[in-house]
Amino acid sequence: MTERARIAVIGAGIAGLACAAELSALGVAVTVFDKGRGVGGRVATRREGAMRFNHGAQYVTARDPGFGALLAGLAEAGVMAPWDAAGEGRWTGVPGMSVLGRHLAQQSGAEVRLQEQVLFLQDDEAGWLVRVVPAAEAYPGEVLDTGGVVERFDAVMLAIPPAQAAPLLLAAGHPFAEPVGAVTLLPCWTLMVAFAKSVDAPDVQRFEAGPLAWIARENSRPGADTPPDRWVVHASPAWSQRMVERDPAEVQSMLLGAFVAATGVSEAPLHVATHRWMHARTEQPLGEAALWDPARRIGVCGDYCLGARVEAAWLSGRALAAQVAAEAGG
């Protein structure tokens, strides 16, 4: 890559942001596109008035020294901390998990463009043509060679779920479409619920059977102990898959009932809401840290390449950037 090269990274989750940061270090101009309203992907925090719910990834762990050093640095800055209630070695953002994505975006040196969806990719001798539309004008995963604006880049990195990446690769006639399309991610229904009084139940519970996989008291996180008593409930992957197309109100009622059965709470909630993560848990990873085609200058990264952990996304993004750097002699 030359100093004047331009690279598009599609997806502002942890993998995309990690990739963007490493690519920026090569001296190229990096633009990150994401159809969402914020960075970080499933490492997310939802605000409901004064309340916060960490409704995506519940915590992060570190096995890789580099990722451990990143968490340690954020801990020194006061924006990450061990979450004792969740178990040893589990870290949470302070005041919420979304701080990780925001930090990576700020440190990446890349231009981050939110609420913009990439509809189509086409390469030629000069690089890649990337068709972009406002996310509000497109369906998730839609592939169309019309509308929006077309921008030119020297290379493209796909850091989006396989169900969204594979159609773009297929439309571009790239063989990465087959292995990426073979990866399956299960959905996850999430319940967010708050009570005026503290629920008499353990702060964190895991379940091996039934509709629930995990429940956690948000107030048990460092720096999040203000009322009301807030809980995040994750349904199990199998249950979420069976209920993936059910009406959200019906799912909410069933999950609230399961939460009541698990905790014994009798008080009516102050607030209750649901969220459906369509691409939440990797069943079988791709088996490679990342994919990079130096001839056509297109790459793929994501947590699903290595596993379901947040650290896997970070490692995958960096691995893709390292392959680009090696090809460029960096």
Convert 53-73 to b/e letters by CB count within 10 Å (16 or more is b).
bbbbbbbbbbeeeebeebbee
Residue 305 lies in a domain: yes
Structural domain count of the chain: 2
Whether residue 258 sits in one domain with residue 194: yes
Q: Is residue 249 part of a domain?
A: yes
Same domain? 274 vs 295: no
Query: Does 276 map to a domain?
Result: yes
Statement to judge: residues 223 and 86 lie in one domain: yes
Same domain? For 84 and 194 the reply is yes
Say which CATH number the domain at 308 has.
3.50.50.60
Please indicate, yes or no, whether residues 25 and 169 belong to a single structural domain of this protein: yes
Residue 296 in domain: yes
Q: What is the mean pLDDT of each run of 10 residues along the chain (330 residues)?
A: 78 98 95 97 95 97 97 96 97 96 95 98 96 94 94 98 97 98 96 97 97 98 94 97 97 98 97 96 93 98 95 98 85
Would you state the pLDDT for residue 173? 98
User: Is the peptide bond prior to 95 cis by the omega test (within 30 degrees of 0)?
Assistant: yes
Q: Are residues 218 and 240 in the same domain?
A: yes
Number of H helices, E strands in the chain: 9, 18
DSSP 60: B
Pair (261, 128) in one structural domain:
no
Answer yes or no: is 150 within a domain. yes
Q: Are residues 114 and 263 in the same domain?
A: no
- Longest Cα–Cα distance in the chain: 66
In this structure, the answer to whether residues 204 and 152 fall within a common structural domain is: no
Say if 1 falls within a structural domain: no
Domain that holds residue 191: 45-97+185-283
- C-alpha to C-alpha distance for 24 and 5, rounded to whole angstroms: 11
